[in-house]
């Protein structure tokens, strides 16, 4: 179980958090609970999430920090793809500085830019990799042909797409990642929709397990594939502890099948 550090910023993923000390506490508690993968992006804030991670966790003993570049921010909840090679190079350099790293363990292309050939964007990350500024390369919000195009240029170790029990449009991408040994990082992993309503299947199973619907949704993800790396995010220590405890929830074959079919 990883931790996604988008929600520790301000409203609309813009500006500093209302409770800075609380954001620091969540990050530190995540590591105390055994989380060793923290996912962020230069666009979260922008820059705020990376700065908080450095303040809370540097020098990151035993914790892998992953960040992303390729989205411009113009205001709260406003996101615009920008994956020009020169922009990605600038953002890698700035992320290194903000995070206090000599190398970024995992750098992910946050979005494919429709105005820039994917091979050019990934090619620049390969150049930065050869320069020793990033270790591994990942992608975000891509389909199988885009992954294959990127694989022709670089070794791709991770794919981060929206995926959860109630939204499985990227099943083919997950299957491709599993076959290729690529980590699949589902963002927005605990969305459950109507499944968690009173009388729904998640509500029923949560009572029998003594677990929350969110914990069951995470347990389903972990059961779905061995390459699955959920990164639920929160700005609450209590919610963080609930999410991490999902690793102790085990679904039976019947429960997994029924949940899969219900969604």
Q: What is the pLDDT of residues 34-93, one digit of tens each?
A: 999 999 999 999 999 999 999 999 999 999 999 999 999 999 999 999 999 999 999 999
pLDDT at position 200, please?
Answer: 80
Query: Tokens 């389909």 correspond to what residue?
Result: 143
- pLDDT average, residue stretch 212-235: 96
Please check the confidence at residue 201 and state whether its pLDDT lies above 90.
no
- pLDDT average, residue stretch 105-123: 98
Helical spans, DSSP H, in 33-143: 48-57, 85-99, 118-130
Please check the confidence at residue 106 and state whether its pLDDT lies above 90.
yes
pLDDT at position 46, please?
Answer: 98
Q: pTM score, two decimals?
A: 0.96
Query: Tokens 């609970």 correspond to what residue?
Result: 33
pLDDT at position 226, please?
Answer: 97
CA dihedral 128, 107, 16, 63 (to 10 degrees): -120
> Rounded to 5 degrees, what angle do the CA atoms 97, 79, 164 make?
95
Distinct helix (H) and strand (E) counts, the chain: 10, 9
Establish whether 44 is a catalytic residue. Answer: yes
Please check the confidence at residue 262 and state whether its pLDDT lies above 90.
no
Look at residues 58, 59, 52, 57 and name the one whose alpha carbon lies nearest to residue 23.
52
The mean pLDDT of the chain is 96
Predicted confidence band of residue 204 (pLDDT cuts 50, 70, 90): confident
Spot the catalytic one: 44, 47, 60, 107: 44
Count CA atoms within 13 Å of residue 215 on its CB side.
23
Predicted confidence band of residue 263 (pLDDT cuts 50, 70, 90): confident
Please check the confidence at residue 212 and state whether its pLDDT lies above 80.
yes
- pLDDT average, residue stretch 127-138: 98
pLDDT at position 68, please?
Answer: 98
Predicted confidence band of residue 191 (pLDDT cuts 50, 70, 90): confident
């Amino acid at each position: 179980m990883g931790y996604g550090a988008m929600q520790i910023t301000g409203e609309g993923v813009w500006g500093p958090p209302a409770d800075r000390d609380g954001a620091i506490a969540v990050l530190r508690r995540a590591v105390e609970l055994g989380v060793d993968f923290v996912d962020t992006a230069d666009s979260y804030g922008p820059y705020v999430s990376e700065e908080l991670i450095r303040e809370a966790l540097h020098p990151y003993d035993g914790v892998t920090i992953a960040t992303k570049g390729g989205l411009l921010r113009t205001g709260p909840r406003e996101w615009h793809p920008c994956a020009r090679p020169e922009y990605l190079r600038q953002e890698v350099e700035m992320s290194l500085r903000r995070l206090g790293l000599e190398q970024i363990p995992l750098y992910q292309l946050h979005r494919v830019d429709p105005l820039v050939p994917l091979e050019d964007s990934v090619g620049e990350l390969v150049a930065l990799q050869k320069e020793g500024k990033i270790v591994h390369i990942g992608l975000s919000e891509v389909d199988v042909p885009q992954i294959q195009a990127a694989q022709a240029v670089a070794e791709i170790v991770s794919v981060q797409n929206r995926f959860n029990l109630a939204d499985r449009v990227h099943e083919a991408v997950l299957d491709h990642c599993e076959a290729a040994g690529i980590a699949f990082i589902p963002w927005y992993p605990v969305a459950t929709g109507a499944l968690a309503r009173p009388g729904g299947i998640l509500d029923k199973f949560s009572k029998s397990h003594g677990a929350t619907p969110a914990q069951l949704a995470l347990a389903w993800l972990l059961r779905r594939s061995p390459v699955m790396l959920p990164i639920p995010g929160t700005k609450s220590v209590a919610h963080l502890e609930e999410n991490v405890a999902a690793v102790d929830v085990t679904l039976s074959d019947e429960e997994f099948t029924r949940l899969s079919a219900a969604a």
